[in-house]
Amino acid sequence: MEHTSRALPKIRASHISKVFSNGKERVEALRDFSLEVQEGEFLCIVGPSGCGKSSFLRILAGLLPASSGTIEIQPGEDPGKPLTSMVFQEYAVFPWKTVLENVGFGLQMRGVPKAERLTIAQSWIERVGLSKFIHAYPHQLSGGMKQRVGIARALASDPEILLMDEPLGALDAQTRTLLQEEILRIWEERRKTVVYVTHSIEEAVLLGDRVVLMTAHPGTQKAVFPIPLPRPRDLKVMATAEFGELTYTIWEALRGEVLKAMKLLGET
């Protein structure tokens, strides 16, 4: 029994398309996009802006219906746990809730008793290094700290799959590097299934087990790159020749897509 469930992929997305239409214009965000993600895999999706990677993540999260195609997600053993939790960009933490309330939000919505909720939230706040700010409101925090709250909020609700939508995209380079390290460290502890959308190739190679490259307008899958870098990883891996080679190979493949996307934007 356990053996068969292991064999099934955690996520199987088959022939997903998504068309946005407002009556006059039709925008095809995704076309025939298929993807399988294994249990415990850290999958990164890279593509030029407008390639529908955020749409795909929202379809996975159930926030957006697909125009066609199917999504299968293997549920875990505990039906009380959510299938997915999303980490948005850092401004998505609720400004009207304290750090503690933000991190405990998913648990609260699931009806977890208050005492248990506080314990879990507190332990996650400690793990992202925000114990001093437990009762602070987001406006008192820096961008990087806010995103730590966002990550803790997603992890505290202990989802089957963690979805991350360019979580570090709006942060400055140094904060981003710090948080990349932190994401690696936290992920190595649990090895949760992660789908991570980013526009940074370095970030994708550093974090991911596989990198999926998408084309733009409409978004389709262009190539998949396995990242054979050893685990557990840390930032040192960025100094290796292998890392540089992988990054360059993916960039070579991406370059044409970026140019195409820019040309398309320029023409309209």
Partner 1 sequence: MNGKGNPKLLSLLTLLFALWNGCLTLFHGWTAFWWLGLGVDFLLIVGIAELIGKRIPPLYAPLYRRSLSVSFPLLLFLAWELLVRGGVLSPDWFPPPSRIVQALWELITKFDEFSKTSLLGRPWLLLGAAWGNRPETVKELLAESHLYATLMRVFVGFFLGATPGILLGMVMGVSPTIRTMIDATLSAFYVLPKIAIFPIMMLIFPDPFGEGPKIAVVAISVFFLVTINTMVGVRDIEPVYLEAGRNYGASGFRLFYHVILPGALPVVFAGLRIALGTALIVIIAVEFVRAKTGVGFLTFYYWEILSPEKMYAGLVVVMVLGVLLTAGLKKVEQWVMPWRKP
Q: Report the alpha-carbon distance of residue 125 to residue 42 in Å, rounded.
A: 23
Among 33, 42, 56, 88, binds partner 1 (CB under 8 A): 88
Among 47, 138, 208, 219, binds partner 1 (CB under 8 A): 138
* 92 lies in the site for partner 1, by CB under 8 A: yes
Q: Which of 190, 206, 196 is nearest to 124 (CA)?
A: 190
* 227 lies in the site for partner 1, by CB under 8 A: no
* 196 lies in the site for partner 1, by CB under 8 A: no
Which CB, 127 or 153, lies closer to partner 1? 153
Binding to partner 1, residues 59-78 (CB under 8 A): 61-63
Residue 171 token pair: 């942060």
Number of H-type helices and E-type strands within the chain: 9, 9
Which CB, 62 or 226, lies closer to partner 1? 62
* 12 lies in the site for partner 1, by CB under 8 A: no
* 82 lies in the site for partner 1, by CB under 8 A: yes
Among 157, 180, 193, 247, binds partner 1 (CB under 8 A): 157
Among 139, 174, 236, 252, binds partner 1 (CB under 8 A): 139
SS3 content of the chain, % helix, strand, coil (to 5): 45, 25, 35
* 23 lies in the site for partner 1, by CB under 8 A: no
Q: Report the alpha-carbon distance of residue 81 to residue 110 in Å, rounded.
A: 8
CA-based diameter of the chain, in Å? 57
In sign, the C-alpha dihedral spanning 94, 95, 96, 102 is positive
51 and 214 in contact (C-beta within 8 Å)?
Answer: yes
Which CB, 157 or 221, lies closer to partner 1? 157
The secondary structure of residue 142, as a DSSP letter, is -
The contact set with partner 1 (CB under 8 A) reads 58, 61-63, 82, 84-86, 88-89, 91-98, 105-106, 109-110, 137-139, 153, 157
